[in-house]
Amino acid sequence: MKILVICKVVFICLFFISCNGQTSSKTGSNRIVGGGCDGCELMYIGMPKEIHSVDTSAGWNEKGQRLIVTGTVFQLDGKTPAKDVIIYYWQTDNDGYYSPKAGMDERTKRHGHIRGWVKTDANGKYTIKTIRPAPYPNDVLPAHIHLSIKEPDIENEYYTDEINFDEDKLLIPHFKKYPQENRGGSGVVRVLLNDNLQIAEHNIILGLNIPNYPKKINNEKISGLDIGEEQL
């Protein structure tokens, strides 16, 4: 019994540490793309040399509602598919804990054992096979999946909006308090049920609402005058 209580305390600490680190450092370096992110750098620990566009998480074969998250990653213009972008994800288990597994690197235990990587294919597509994360026990945060992005030609990783689920009752009260940042676009997904499998589409626009993002949209004028511009 005593061991069980200690374990629960450890798990609770782990998930609070994990989420508190998922905030941008608005006062931090103005050179870091994304403004900084405590925890995103853990994506490099245990990262396989070869990453595929489809990944099956450790949660897939555990208790819980199976979920497939799939989508396209676009460049900042919102149209051009972005290939070779690494997406690192981490999430709670079916009980709402970032539950570590024996043998995990100590540094990554705060992300729990349901963590993994995908790399977008030539069409910018990716697919993550996992389970629905549960909200933290006795808490008000909606269920979510964290994402950290590493582009091939951007020096550092940055986080995008967490994946949230549109039917989550905790979502609206949370957004009233903490409006979405829309980093990379909205993280809220609509879940479709296909037999016993849930499917959610989540597209990401690289650099959208990401501080210090070095790339710009090409706004080259094609024709016409701006309003108020005089004709010569």
Does position 14 interact with Fe ion (CB under 5 A)? The reply is no
Cβ at position 92, least distance to Fe ion in Å = 7
Q: Which is nearer to Fe ion, 121 or 157 (CB)?
A: 157
19 sits near Fe ion (criterion: CB under 5 A): yes
Question: Which residue number places its CB atom closest to Fe ion?
Answer: 19
Nearer to Fe ion, 20 or 29 (CB): 20
Tell me the three-class secondary structure of 92-160, residue by residue: CCCCCCCCCCCCCCHHHHHHCCCEEEEECCCCCEEEEEEECCCCCCCCCCCCCEEEEEECCCCCCCEEC
Size of residue set near Fe ion by CB under 5 A: 1
Give the residue with the Cβ less far from Fe ion, 19 or 208: 19
Residue 19 vs 82, nearer CB to Fe ion: 19
Residue 37 lies near Fe ion (rule: CB under 5 A) = no
Contact residues: Fe ion, CB under 5 A? 19
